[in-house]
């Protein structure tokens, strides 16, 4: 592609995306991870796609556990997203201090989420730098306060995507 | 899944998504289609995923043409989205009255777009009701006025996704 990286990045960053926490688990290892490449992709089966960096802890936990949760978050509380960009700390039934419970798939669900989708991995697609996990929704529910608007990337100063840094 | 369809729908509809026009072409057949299940999924290669209803004209044109464009649209002009929910009319080099030109892949690019991504199909994944097309970005550019905020589903009264209607 002959387009300058800076242009490619600006265009890709301008695609509006959700900002949420992905829950994953393998045995005693639990994690929560900030993610934005998330969208529904089919109605029957009900499939949700999440693309995860191959180097992320969450990538290994989803592969090993065969499941993940998508935790939609309130847009007025974007503080957790920076911290969940690194591997999370599990203590006293909480990830980075945010209480979780075990979902139907075994993956963690954040008690504070506006809503969650609990998914089993239906198919994994190797996409180079990332793996696209297609999850079949097996359970979902709203949290205590369902009417909170959902966080998105533009609510923060974070950016994600574009070309691989140092990749050219 | 034991969750009522209405709950599944409300949760899936609350995922913030872009609203854009997908350009596709097979020979003399051109189309533009409103879509919201669009996200980047990898940085190397630079891949963008678009999930399209198997019954849509655009589905056949992407399969036959092996390419598609993602046209980001200004959020202050959401009027075209309802009309582009049905097969578009091609006349005088325009789809539904909106001028298009031919991209590097052969797929149509809307002259009015805030920015476009021109993609060759890198892989297609059969997802039941929909096919997830993974497109490698081969060209992209901003339009005449790059600083316009990009349209998203919430800018309209439209909804897309959830469970298949009549499917249960």
Q: Can you say how many angstroms the Cα of residue B24 is from the centroid of all Cα atoms in its chain?
A: 9
Domain tally for chain A? Answer: 1
Spatial distance between the Cα atoms of A70 and B14, rounded to a whole number of angstroms: 12
Does A12 fall in a domain?
no
Q: What is the pLDDT of residue A8?
A: 98
Q: What single DSSP character describes residue B106? A: S
Domain-embedded: residue A163:
no
pLDDT bin (cut points 50, 70, 90) of residue A168 is: very low
* CA–CA gap between residue B146 and residue B134 (Å, rounded): 25
Give the chain A residue nearest B161 (alpha carbons): A43
Name every residue whose Cβ is closer than 8 Å to that of residue A2 and which is 6 or more positions away in sequence.
B139
Mean pLDDT of A89-98: 97
Q: Is the peptide bond before A45 cis (omega within 30 degrees of 0)?
A: yes
CB B127 within 8 A of CB A125: no
- Kindly tell me the sign of the dihedral angle through the C-alpha atoms of B42, B44, B49, B54: negative
> Residue A11 falls within a domain, yes or no?
no
Residue B31 lies in a domain: yes
| Residue A28 domain boundaries | 17-155
For residue B163, tell me if it sits in a domain.
no
Among B111, B117, B107, which residue's Cα sits nearest to residue B98? B111
The residue of chain A with its CA nearest to that of B14 is A150
CATH of the domain at B54: 2.30.110.10
Residue A123 maps to a domain: yes
- CA-to-CA distance for A18 and A119, rounded, in angstroms? 17
Q: Which pLDDT score, from 0 to 100, does residue A147 have?
A: 85
Residue of chain A whose alpha carbon sits nearest to that of B36: A39
Q: Chain A window 123-142: which residues touch B at a Cβ cutoff of 8 Å?
A: 123, 125, 127-130, 132, 134, 137-142
ipTM metric: 0.96
CB neighbour list of residue B151: distance below 8 Å, 6 or more residues apart: B18, B19, B20, B72, B73, B74, B75, B77, B78, B81
d(CA B165, CA B168): 8
Please report which confidence band the pLDDT of residue B168 belongs to, taking 50, 70 and 90 as the band edges.
very low
Of chain A, the percentage scoring pLDDT greater than 90 comes to: 95
C-alpha A36/C-alpha A71 separation (Å) is 11
Residue A6 placed within a domain? no
Predicted confidence at residue A146, as pLDDT, reads 82
Q: Provide the pLDDT for residue B16.
A: 97
Q: What are phi and psi of A54, to 5 degrees?
A: -60, -25
Residues of B within 8 A of A115 (CB-CB) are: 11, 14
Residue B109 contacts residue B101 (beta carbons within 8 Å): yes
What value does the mean pLDDT take over residues B72-85? 97
Q: Is residue A8 part of a domain?
A: no
Q: Give pTM, 2 decimals.
A: 0.97
Q: Is A147 exposed, middle or buried (0-12, 13-18, 19+ CB in 10 A)?
A: exposed
Ramachandran sector of residue B166 (left: φ over 0; alpha: ψ -120 to 50; beta: rest): left
Chain A closest-CA separation from residue B164 CA (Å) = 5
Q: Answer whether A11 touches B (CB < 8 Å).
A: yes
């Amino acid at each position: 592609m002959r387009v300058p990286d800076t242009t490619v990045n600006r265009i890709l960053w301008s695609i509006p995306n959700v900002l949420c926490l992905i829950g994953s688990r393998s045995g005693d290892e639990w994690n929560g991870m900030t993610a934005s490449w998330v969208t529904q992709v089919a109605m029957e089966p009900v499939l949700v796609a999440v693309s995860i960096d191959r180097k992320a802890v969450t990538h290994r936990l989803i592969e090993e556990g065969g499941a993940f949760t998508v935790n939609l978050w309130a847009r007025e509380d974007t503080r957790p997203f920076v911290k969940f960009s690194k591997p999370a700390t599990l203590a006293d039934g909480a990830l980075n201090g945010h209480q979780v419970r075990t979902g139907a798939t075994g993956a963690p669900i954040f008690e504070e989420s506006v809503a969650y989708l609990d998914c089993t991995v239906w198919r994994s697609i190797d996409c180079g730098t990332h793996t696209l996990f297609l999850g079949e929704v097996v359970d979902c529910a709203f949290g205590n306060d369902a009417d909170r608007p959902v966080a998105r990337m533009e609510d923060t100063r974070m950016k994600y995507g574009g070309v691989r840094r140092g990749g050219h």
